[in-house]
Structure 1
């Protein structure tokens, strides 16, 4: 099995925290779509022995595309790859871009999973983040998606935002629960160098929130969702039983995937590749019949680090027998020694013989995982 990721690089405007590949030059969309279909054809031999079970439209803002354009992209994928009978097909959408009619047409293209970028139901917070929608539009999008017939809906919330209160977090979660959305992602606000948000922090116009308050927010989200039947199956992701993101779960399980479009990454066993993040370069190189990508072969050390990172991010954790089988007894012994301090500090626990992060460990996961890497 394998997956396909499509990066749609267009946005009407850029959110202050975003460091993804996106541009506001919508006039390039036609040239991009032509190049994208050429890339499908150029790379059709890469996964000839694999069945595509998941397709994911990310961005950028994929919902800026017409549904006919989305249909054309899916036809290009089906033309060049063996796609499963009922694949999971996800598209990210913004509440201000989509109408009820758009959602109905979207469902007809074969899209069967919706990821709605909500982030908050507080209008002041949304304005601060640079989001174009308001809280009413966000809620109406959920209502419209359900009415249109979507039965697999994902929403998201950002916490750790300066000025965000516990009451607003609870309000947001309660609205998700009210509509029984099947999947919820919860991300801590990050300050990436080069973003508007980072510049505000660097100029001391805003301050990081207290780490204890961040942990309180993380814990509140986890407890509130767990008490309402959501499974905390990955550090940033919760779902009702059976509604885990198949596409992202495959990432964490080391399943191969192809990425198309500018900045998109691909992975196949021990080879990783990535396209240029410059849209003009992407279009021009494709038109010349060249793939605008670079690749690297993962060393054993890199494969080990990836295994540790992806395993610990999930509720299943690190399977010690699998670690030993793939990487040998030395790597296994080194891992056991390295995690001992985290077991003693209650950041890592043993569950069904696997090593998993505790809730406290999940909150500090970046530091713990990097500490366990081979360097």
Structure 2
């Protein structure tokens, strides 16, 4: 018997966690001399008050959807893939390699190639930690953290050496061919007479992210593989008894997880920068962990949580611009939200569960 209704687990607890996080964040802002209500209004206006703000919010949300899905599918198999940062970086390398290798005539041809190579490179980077976990018992958290550092070192070397444009100081590749340019929201909505900012980076990869969410839903709840992944996550012993190979499912799950993270490069490398630049991931791999936790590892929850963190990311930039709040303070506010919705989730869950149990017991006695 569940201790509380499903809706309370999915919606009520995240809402209470978020409310507490915003209250604490408001106290922090008040402590540094900023009116928290004015700050919240500034964040909302900067994130949703104009098409430019919406475009930036959805651009960040797109990154977080990909990394959130990467974390979510691993969590269903009871694995904590903390390597989304490195897998997304290596996925960017795959996108850059294929887009620079061919003089693409149009984005409709370049986009599928970028999706394939970004996914393959991300999956390849997740394979060794997956193998070590499945075959050697190495803890997936430790190995994926190590691979994050290795990915940063590898991409840093390539972007300051073999892949760097000669004669330029910037650690980046050459610009991709013009035919690889992805349609932005401005270009997509213009034929329908809808005005959207030319300067917003949101592009068609947002739709790719939504398709990945649909794929995730079908895979996890409507396929045999999804059932095996969830079975492994519930009980490795029971899954063995049912004839499921834990090692095989662990590796397959991590390959899919790494592919999701690698697909983020379609948005930030191909869609926004149109070249691969150093540190292009910008922490999105770690934000994806919080997105998956807050979204309860469900694609709809991941979308909503990604938009929330996109709002925090864009709204934080507005706070920095309007009030001169240091970026580090904005990061503290984001960290409070992550802490309350992730690590301290049970601080709220426990009392809420007890309240529902008390109500259920009182109804039985009545």
TM range, smaller chain: under 0.3
As a proportion of its length, which structure holds more helix? 2
Name the TM-score, length of structure 1 as normaliser: 0.22
Q: Which has the higher contact order (CA 8 A, sep 6+)?
A: 2
